[in-house]
């Protein structure tokens, strides 16, 4: 397991629980949107006055090759992008081992 850094862009829905929109940037610079319930992504409180901000979310590491880290967001919480993508290649600077 590990953590990958994403950017919280804003609140998608203030209904309980709050849904937030995040951006994950891949190694090649492509960007993916993730819209998910805040409690699925973190136990932290969200200060909407300080958006955009970063957040580290849990992921499973599939491989590490130099500066490229292949991660899977489907484990442990079933997270995916708005396009249905669950596996991403991110720069090692965005990955944090746990």
Calculate the dihedral angle through the C-alpha atoms of 64, 85, 55, 37, rounding to the nearest 10 degrees: -140
Range of the domain at 16: 2-97
Q: Which residues of the chain have pLDDT under 70?
A: none
- Number of structural domains (the chain) is 1
Q: Which two tokens stand for residue 69?
A: 């880290």
pLDDT on residue 64: 96
| pLDDT tens-place string over residues 37-63 | 999 999 888 888 888 999 999 999 999
Helices (H) and strands (E) counted in the chain, each on its own, are 1, 7
pLDDT on residue 46: 87
Average predicted confidence (pLDDT) for the chain? 94
pLDDT on residue 9: 96
């Amino acid at each position: 397991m590990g953590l990958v850094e994403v950017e919280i862009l804003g609140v998608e829905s203030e209904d309980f629980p709050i849904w937030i929109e995040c951006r994950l940037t891949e190694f090649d610079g492509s960007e993916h949107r993730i819209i998910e319930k805040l409690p699925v992504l973190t136990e932290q409180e969200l200060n909407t006055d300080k958006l955009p901000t970063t957040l580290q979310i849990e992921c499973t590491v599939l491989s590490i090759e130099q500066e490229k880290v292949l991660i899977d967001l489907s484990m442990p919480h079933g997270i995916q992008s708005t396009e249905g993508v669950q596996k991403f290649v991110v720069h090692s600077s965005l990955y944090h081992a746990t």
